[in-house]
């Protein structure tokens, strides 16, 4: 498919400027110096950043979810906040609170940790649904409203949330409307034995992560995001995306299909993947490779009626991919 699609590239669209490629390579090398192995997961994280999206990393404890998130945050010369989600965490602990200053005789807004460029919500499904919902406005509109006043968030703004599987004790289901705010949901899996051996030998979380320095400024990140928006998405690929999401809405086994926000997310993820590949145009493979991480967590099957059945959702999405014809 790649060979065919590359030969069918549209006239007037070529490889992206060297500046973009160099900057993205710097970011990739910075993250992989700490997060050893699983280069595909690193590219997913970077693609999510380029697409102005938010990332949900789901896997068992101890496979490097938080390390990957922190490596991304420390590679960018912006601000970072880490929220350790627990059942007693309150919404105001995330968004901030208005306090009364007696000496001045006035109220002042004290921003919460969400007012940073990269926000790491560690073990997000250990917070109650009420606290999880405190992130909805921030993730969708990049604003926070407290006591009737709306506050702008810094840019770039990205939430990187980690969560353990729902079978683990003390976890809650994420509301469907919050899941829809995550551009991608990815699984890391266990590292290959050679990579795990390097982790044991080098212990990057104790050494390299602490000394990691930024390689990109926030202005550069915004420029890369703007360049991603300009990636060419041909009309045939737009129709392919619409065919995929429509199939999720009409499938006999699916109760809730992919929303319009999901189709937009798939298009943005495809553009970001093309950007990482050094192209300023998308090919069908850019859409296909993102369909599962973008769409699977947005659909709910009729058999389970909740979003915790990840395997069923992925199976149904894979089935749709195999039945809807690709433009190539």
Q: Model confidence over 263-274: pLDDT tens digits?
A: 999 999 999 999
Token match 């998130």: residue? 69
Q: What are phi and psi of 123, to 5 degrees?
A: 55, 55
Backbone angles phi, psi at 228, to 5 degrees: -65, -40
DSSP string, 41-86: HHHHHHHHHHTT--EEEE--TTSSHHHHHHHHHHTEES-EEEEE--
Residues 194-215 pLDDT 10s: 989 988 988 888 878 888 999 9
Q: Which two tokens stand for residue 300?
A: 């709910």
Q: For residues 271 and 254, what is the distance between their CA atoms, to the nearest angstrom? A: 27
Q: Which residues of 131-152 are buried (b: 16+ CB within 10 A; e: fewer)?
A: bbbbbebbbeeeebebeeeeee
Structure tokens at 180: 């829809």
Given the structure tokens 């997310």, which residue do they identify?
Answer: 265
Question: What is the rounded distance in angstroms from the CA atom of residue 8 to the CA atom of residue 321?
Answer: 22
> Hey, how many other C-beta atoms are within 10 angstroms of the C-beta on 292?
17
Q: Which residues make Cβ contacts (< 8 Å) with residue 185, sequence separation at least 6? A: 55, 56, 57, 58, 179, 293, 296, 297
Contact between residue 299 and residue 315 where contact means Cβ atoms under 8 Å apart: no
Specify whether the CB–CB gap between 221 and 264 falls below 8 A: no
Q: What is the pLDDT along the chain (328 residues), one digit of tens a residue?
A: 444 444 444 444 555 565 688 999 999 999 999 998 888 999 999 999 999 999 999 888 888 888 999 999 999 999 999 999 999 999 999 999 988 888 888 888 999 999 999 999 999 988 888 888 889 999 999 999 988 889 999 999 999 999 887 666 667 778 788 889 999 999 888 888 998 998 898 888 887 888 899 999 999 999 999 999 999 999 999 999 999 999 999 999 999 999 999 999 999 999 999 999 999 999 999 999 999 999 999 998 887 655 556 788 899 999 999 999 998 6
pTM above 0.85, yes or no: yes
Looking at domain 2-323, its CATH architecture is 3-Layer(aba) Sandwich (3.40)
- Cβ distance 274 to 281 under 8 Å? yes
Q: How far apart are CA 107 and CA 147, in angstroms?
A: 11
Cα distance between residue 117 and residue 67, in whole Å: 17
């Amino acid at each position: 498919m790649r060979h065919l699609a590359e030969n069918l590239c549209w006239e007037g669209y070529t490889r992206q400027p060297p500046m973009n490629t160099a900057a993205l390579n710097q970011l990739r090398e910075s993250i992989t110096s700490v997060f050893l192995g699983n280069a595909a997961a690193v590219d997913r994280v970077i693609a999510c950043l380029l697409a102005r999206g938010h990332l949900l990393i789901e896997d068992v404890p101890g496979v490097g979810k938080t390390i990957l998130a922190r490596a991304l945050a420390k590679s960018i010369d912006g601000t970072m906040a880490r929220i350790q989600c627990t059942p007693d965490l309150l919404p105001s602990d995330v968004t901030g609170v208005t306090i009364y200053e007696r000496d001045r005789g006035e109220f002042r807004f004290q921003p919460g940790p969400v007012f940073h460029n990269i926000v790491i919500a560690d073990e997000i499904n250990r917070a109650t649904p009420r606290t999880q919902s405190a992130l909805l406005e921030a993730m969708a509109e990049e604003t926070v409203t407290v006591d009737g006043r709306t506050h702008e968030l810094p840019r770039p703004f990205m939430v990187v949330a980690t969560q353990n599987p729902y079978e683990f004790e003390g976890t809650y289901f994420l509301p469907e409307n919050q899941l829809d705010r995550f551009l991608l949901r990815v699984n890391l899996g266990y590292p290959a034995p050679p990579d795990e051996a390097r982790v044991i030998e080098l212990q990057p979380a104790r050494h390299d992560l602490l000394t990691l320095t930024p390689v990109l400024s926030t202005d550069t990140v915004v420029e890369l995001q703007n360049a991603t928006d300009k990636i060419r998405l041909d009309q045939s690929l737009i129709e392919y995306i619409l065919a995929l999401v429509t199939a999720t809405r009409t499938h006999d086994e699916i109760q809730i299909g992919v929303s319009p926000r999901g189709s937009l997310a798939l298009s943005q993820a495809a553009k970001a993947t093309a950007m990482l590949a050094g192209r300023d145009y998308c090919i069908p493979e850019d859409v296909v490779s993102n369909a599962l991480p973008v769409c699977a967590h947005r659909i709910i099957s009729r058999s389970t009626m909740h979003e915790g059945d990840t395997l069923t959702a992925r199976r149904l999405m894979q089935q749709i991919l195999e039945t809807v014809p690709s433009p190539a």
